[in-house]
A = this chain, B = another copy of it.
Amino acid sequence: MTAESSALFLNIIISLAILLFAAKLFAELFHRIKMPVVLGELLAGIIVGPFALGGLPIFNGEPLVILDETVKHIGEIAAIVILFIAGLEITPREFLRGGAASFTVGSLGVILPFFVGYYVFTAFGLEALEAMLIDTALTATSIAITVQVLTELGKMQSKEARLILGAAIVDDILAIAVLSVVTTMVQTGDTTPEIMDITFLILKILGLFVVLLIGSILIIPRILHVEQLWRSEGSIEGIATAAFFGAAGIAAFVGLSPIVGAFSVGMAVASTRVIKQVEEYVSKLGIIFAPLFFAIIGAQVDLRGINIEVLYLSGIIIAIAIITKLIGCGLPALIFLKEKTNAIKVGIGMISRGEVGLIVAGVGVSSGALSTDIYTTVIIMVAVTTIITPVWLKMVYRKDRRSTNSNQMQKSIT
């Protein structure tokens, strides 16, 4: 450790402390006013982030809250922890049973935003490559938000939650495939790749997920079930953690997103005898990693680049973002769930966008294919969909409960 690294470390732990404190404070507040806790944590991040209050230079002339590599990496590690916890809720058997539904909902939820977006944006006069970059940002659902809201509501075991989870994973995999195709286009400047190449790439990425999932299901229980080996306190938990970190790394290495690897290991652990023990442990990790994740996401929102043109374009993009997921995921969900309110929940649950949107915007703006205005627009779209999802989802569930209650009252009266 050098002296400069010490000074940086000081800023990092101060930043983490402030983000965590603000997130927990706002979580309490939002819990009290019956709003989604994740929203409070996001808002806390926006408020104490480096583009707002946290930008005040107090320590060593550095902003009070910094978002350096380490803080961002801790945010990404937090996402891995959240998706591992989500994976624990569902066994591989349950996941495969919902296979057709997840696949249909997930795929349509990627295809619809992409093509509707492409049509609308080129009609508005954007270039093909620019339109495709925004479309890609529109494809991938950010599942962490929805998972937290469903957990808050105690609905993670419901049919619609299962479908959202499964579809979000399929969605994530396909979105990564689209991302690979589009970033290749940006790098080569070739906007008309062979349809065969695209199909091959998408199949390859789907195949990699299947291999990763089967690998996890076969290997993880074999490692964790060697009771003669893991006798020390904390061994099982530590090994499970190493396993989902490792799988996240392998997923990233083969070109998937890390969270897909962590989710696979979560599912694999769900079918083992040590599930309770691991769940108990990782829920304690969740106490700090979940609020840190949302606060770090919030802290990255910089609303200073907004002008009237950006707002106008944002309105269009946000509308497309919401409508295409609501229809693209809600309609097929209706076919599988055969219930309107639950199908709407699936549609709403898939609205929030996150990492992929930000990555695409980053790639686009640094390659020069996206203007800074459109970059800001994508950031706003991510922020707004991230804020809308928990509020709307909670509203629908509350309305749902109220009507169930009044139905029961009517029954008890008659």
Interface residues of A (CB under 8 A from B): 1-3, 5-6, 8-14, 16-18, 20-21, 23-24, 27-28, 31, 37, 59-60, 69-70, 72-74, 76-77, 80, 183, 229-232, 234-235, 237-239, 241-243, 245-246, 248-250, 252-253, 258, 280-281, 284-288, 291, 355, 358-359, 362-363, 366
Query: CB-nearest residue of chain B relative to A287?
Result: B234
Contact B288 A5 (CB under 8 A): no
**Shortest distance between the CB of A292 and any CB in chain B (Å):** 9
Contact A13 B258 (CB under 8 A): yes
New A-B contacts (13) at CB < 8 Å, excluding given A17-B245, A28-B235: A1-B76, A6-B252, A9-B73, A11-B249, A13-B245, A13-B248, A14-B245, A31-B231, A234-B286, A238-B291, A281-B284, A284-B285, A285-B285
**Shortest distance between the CB of A212 and any CB in chain B (Å):** 14
Contact A287 B13 (CB under 8 A): no
B20, B59, B73, B241: the one contacting A70 at CB < 8 Å is: B73
Q: What is the oligomeric copy number?
A: 2
Q: Which of A13, A59, A284 has the most CB of B within 10 A?
A: A13
Instruction: Please measure, in the bound complex, the distance between the C-alpha atom of A20 and the C-alpha atom of B245, giving whole angstroms.
Output: 9
Q: Which of A3, A8, A59, A241 has the most CB of B within 10 A?
A: A241
Contact A24 B285 (CB under 8 A): no
Contact A24 B69 (CB under 8 A): no
Instruction: Please measure, in the bound complex, the distance between the C-alpha atom of A20 and the C-alpha atom of B37, giving whole angstroms.
Output: 32
Instruction: Please measure, in the bound complex, the distance between the C-alpha atom of A189 and the C-alpha atom of B148, giving whole angstroms.
Output: 57
B2, B13, B253: the one contacting A362 at CB < 8 Å is: B2
Instruction: Please measure, in the bound complex, the distance between the C-alpha atom of A72 and the C-alpha atom of B8, giving whole angstroms.
Output: 12
Query: CB-nearest residue of chain B relative to A258?
Result: B13
Give the chain B neighbours of A285 by CB distance below 8 A.
284-285, 288
Give the chain B neighbours of A73 by CB distance below 8 A.
9, 12, 70
Q: Mind listing 28 A-B residue pairs with CB under 8 Å? A: A1-B76, A1-B359, A2-B359, A10-B252, A10-B253, A13-B77, A16-B245, A17-B243, A17-B245, A17-B249, A18-B242, A20-B241, A20-B242, A20-B245, A21-B242, A24-B239, A28-B229, A59-B253, A70-B70, A70-B73, A74-B74, A234-B286, A237-B284, A241-B287, A241-B288, A280-B284, A281-B284, A284-B285
For the complex of A and B, 10 pairs with smallest distance between CB atoms = A17-B246, A14-B249, A17-B245, A21-B242, A234-B287, A284-B284, A10-B252, A20-B242, A24-B238, A13-B249
